[in-house]
Amino acid sequence: MFPRPAAHRRLATAAVTLGLLCSLNTGAWAGSPHPAPSHGRPSTAHVPSITGTGTPLTGYAIQSTAKVSDSASAVSSPGYPATGWYPAGPRSTVLAALLADGVYADPFWSTNQQKIPKADFQVPWWYRSDFTVADTGQRTYLDFSGVISAADVYVNGTRVARAADVTGAYTHHELDVTSLVRAGTNTVAFRIQPNEPNKNLTMGWIDWLQPPPDQNMGIVRDVLVRRGGPVALRDAHVVTRLDVPSLASADLTVKAQARNDSDAPVTAEVAGSIGGTTFTRTVPLAAHETKTVTFTPADVPGLHLDSPKVWWPAGMGGQPLYGLDLTASVSGTVSDTAHESFGIRDVQAPLNSDGARQYRINGRKLLIKGGGWSPDEFLRWDPTYVEDRLKYALDLGLNTIRLEGHIEPDEFFALADRYGILTLPGWECCDKWEGQVNGSGESGDTWTSADYPVAKASMAAEAARLRDHPSVISFLIGSDFAPDATIEKNYLDALKAADWTAPVVSAASDKSSPQLGSSGMKMTGPYDWIPPGYWYAKREGGATGFNSETSAGPDIPTLDTLRRMMTPAELDTLWKNPGVKQYHRSPSPVFGTLKIYDDALTGRYGAPTSLTDYVRKAQLAQYEAVRAQFEAYQRNATDSSKPSTGVIHWMFNSGWTSLHWQLMDRYLDQGGAYFGAKKANEPLHVQYSYDDHSVVVVGNRPAAASGLTVRATLFNPDGTQKYDKTVTGVAVDGNGAHSTALTLPSSVSGLSATYLARLTLTDSSGKEVSRNVYWLSTEPDTLDWDRTDWYYTPTTHYADLKGLAAMAQAPVSATASTRSSDGTSTTTVTLRATGSGKTPSLLTDVHLVDAAGKPVLPVRWSDDEVGLWPGESVTLTATYRTADLQGSAPRVQVSGWNTPEQTVPAE
């Protein structure tokens, strides 16, 4: 995850082949804090007698080997009773299954997870599943990846693969089990080995959260039963070449492996289509021979496309996808089929003159603005929960998700393709994946000779799986450290063999590898609290170059969420004792407490007087920190010297109930961090610069804008106006360009130590298109740059924002109504500042709740946490699934920094 000083911080059997995991089904975790128990034995998968099909196993019965005395042959034979075993889903770690079965209390509540005995998961566990076939005339294969950490595999009482061969979470395996399969019921059993991320090339949690006691041992991707004839089609994919910058044409090259699995020579007819273009080829194959079948524009003119449908990231264009269909036939009978979706786009990421990596999509530069992705801690797959989070990314104006390890199933990338969200997958740091190149004192065992082929096989499998997804714009083969020459060559050889065309990056940190050279990225922090002005300095983690992971660290959730994750005593400690270790922060000694954050909160805003006061101050702090991070990077993106090229907020989300590194919490509730990011990344945006006091308009949309009016007004906290300036005729280009409208004076007569800045941007028709309210101080935060550590820069003097505490109460009226259609509801809320004085309502928050006062989530607001001056009004909309009301009438809860809480009906 990040570089630390030393003080901190074989696939050899013919039965196992590398290839593409073709299909993944959806799981059954509902994403609730108390997953519903599953009951009874898993259902049996019924495998159709249709060539070219892949049927996932529907689930497993699982049990610890410590409680099973029967032989492996008996356990893996049809009819074995599996009495007392636990049911598990088709993608499930051991602990995920036990949680669903109610064996343990909710591990996300308080310190419950500490009570789960680790010893239960330090022995192998059996995973057992049945499937039926009606006939044995077809060939049958087991096709899978996602085994953590390794497994012996049995079919109908016979071992078909050893754990020494089926090892590594990402390696792909295809086992020909035709000779073992019988008509009727068949049994597959996996004896899963315990996982240790420092010893196995699997998945670990670094310091993101308290690691699961089972270390995620289990099977977390589908196991497919594939049926086919004598010739199998594998590795089907399309290599696209788009003419840039014209985008007027594209060349497609179709490739696939035709493999004769029979003992006799055959002649296969391989036929395919993309849209209205069809193509075919006769392929003679000797017994057990494999040939690569290739179709190019040279022999299929229809594979040269004029005016292709080009895939773009969201906000830059559409997301059209194409489909490839292939069929292999022998003597007129279909033997196998393949289908792949793909997009046409071009990605380049050269180093600029400052050595920073600059991404270009279809010839156009773009500032990468993203967040670091976390799956659920127990790797439970819930497609709705994942889709909700990706929609949140779009709502925030982000364009990229970085996956440091934990590379998600196929559906994740299909969703990213559909929504236009760029992805940056790569290997993780700080465990076995970088054990050979880690710095002194880092975790991760040094590699042995057996690890190199596993790593290469992992790279080959993920490259084959991800290459056709237009949303995937790079692979980072290193994180904190770059691979050495041998590892790099293995990775690059695997990528080349897979026809990988996207840029490959040596590391997420400022490291180099022998062939690829410099990463063009930096990993200079911060990871803990720093003031908003930090981001404007072109040094360390400031807004220059490509920062692959960075943020101001802690993110205190809403009060509702805090009460769903911590006991009253723990909540009392949270706001009263900054130096106490917080279980819901991190296992790291560096990030165990909130002291740096809490000291800043007290130093800038004043000591909290209650839990409620602590949380409301936290939302102010998080809003300003996240907003400044994105605003600084987008302001500097078009600078002629040391421009910013990318920033990944660390992190986008957390895998559990967390107090840090997230833009929304586990329950998808939204606070200051969320709306600070949303404000910064709005399509047409007016913003304040902490370094030079300039007021800048940023065009985050493709189209330019002109005839704009910018107004900047400064107020004391009591609402007394001290400065006002309006600039007309402002214009700004699109695609991330910015225009400076004015610069605020360095001093203003009568301005108090704490003051407010209100910026408004109106279009040529007079409509307000951006409003941005800052709370600032004439005494700025002072940073001690010379004492910068890898995770933060100390602040020696805090900005004086204590004047906010004296703001008078500012009442706000609210009216709301709701319309519902096709399963979606939209609640419209009008807020009006009704105070008779001058004091504005600061950070006015609107929450959608049900009749019991429980938040309705997820929800996408047009805006929230707004500032309103007396007499002003704003209309906001909230969009959400009607079903999430669970039959309740919607209500709207309104509160603010200095606004009394109220709840109004929204029917």
* Residue in 410, 462, 549, 560 annotated catalytic: 549
Question: Of 350, 471, 488, which Cα lies nearest the Cα of 421?
Answer: 471
DSSP-derived secondary structure for 644-711: EEEEEES-S--SSS-SBS-SS-TT----HHHHHHHHHT-SEEEEE-TTT-EEEEEE-SSS-EEEEEEE
Catalytic, 451? Answer: no
Cis preceding linkage at 459, omega within 30: no
Sign of CA dihedral 462, 161, 227, 127: negative
Classify strands 86-88 and 812-821 as parallel, antiparallel or unpaired.
Answer: unpaired
Q: Which residues contact 528 (CB under 8 A, 6 or more apart)?
A: 552, 553, 554, 590, 591, 596, 597, 791, 792
Q: Please give the distance of CA 3 from its chain centroid, rounded to a whole number.
A: 21
SS3 819: strand
SS3 606: coil
HSE-up of residue 417 (Cα within 13 Å, Cβ side) = 21
Report the distance separating Cα 612 and Cα 559, nearest Å. 7
Report the distance separating Cα 626 and Cα 17, nearest Å. 46
SS3 701: coil
Q: Please give the distance of CA 155 from its chain centroid, rounded to a whole number.
A: 36
The conformation of residue 216, written as its DSSP 8-state character, comes to T
Catalytic, 269? Answer: no
Residues pairing with 721 in the sheet: 715
Residues pairing with 703 in the sheet: none
Task: Give the CA angle between residues 524, 529, 533 to the nearest 5°.
Answer: 80
| The length of the chain, given as a count of residues | 907
Task: Give the CA angle between residues 344, 347, 349 to the nearest 5°.
Answer: 180
Cis preceding linkage at 858, omega within 30: yes
Find out whether 811 and 899 touch, Cβ atoms under 8 Å.
Answer: yes
SS3 115: helix
Helix residue ranges per DSSP H, 467-567: 485-497, 559-565
Report the distance separating Cα 809 and Cα 841, nearest Å. 8
Q: Which residues contact 207 (CB under 8 A, 6 or more apart)?
A: 1, 430, 586, 587, 588, 590, 591
Report the distance separating Cα 629 and Cα 634, nearest Å. 9
DSSP-derived secondary structure for 729-753: EEEE-STTEEEEEEE--S--TT--S
Find out whether 85 and 130 touch, Cβ atoms under 8 Å.
Answer: no
Report the distance separating Cα 662 and Cα 651, nearest Å. 5
Say if residue 724 is exposed, middle or buried (CB neighbours under 10 Å; 0-12, 13-18, 19+): exposed
Find out whether 521 and 548 touch, Cβ atoms under 8 Å.
Answer: yes
Q: 730 φ, ψ to 5°?
A: -80, 140
Taking the alpha carbons at both ends of the chain, their separation in whole angstroms is 46
Report the distance separating Cα 281 and Cα 112, nearest Å. 61
Residues pairing with 687 in the sheet: 696
User: At which residue do the structure tokens 């597959």 appear?
Assistant: 188
SS3 492: helix
Report the distance separating Cα 844 and Cα 764, nearest Å. 28
Q: 612 φ, ψ to 5°?
A: -60, -40
Q: Indicate the Cα dihedral angle 879, 885, 887, 891, nearest 10°.
A: -80
* Residue in 214, 480, 624, 781 annotated catalytic: 480
Question: Of 652, 661, 666, which Cα lies nearest the Cα of 565?
Answer: 666
Known catalytic residues?
480, 549
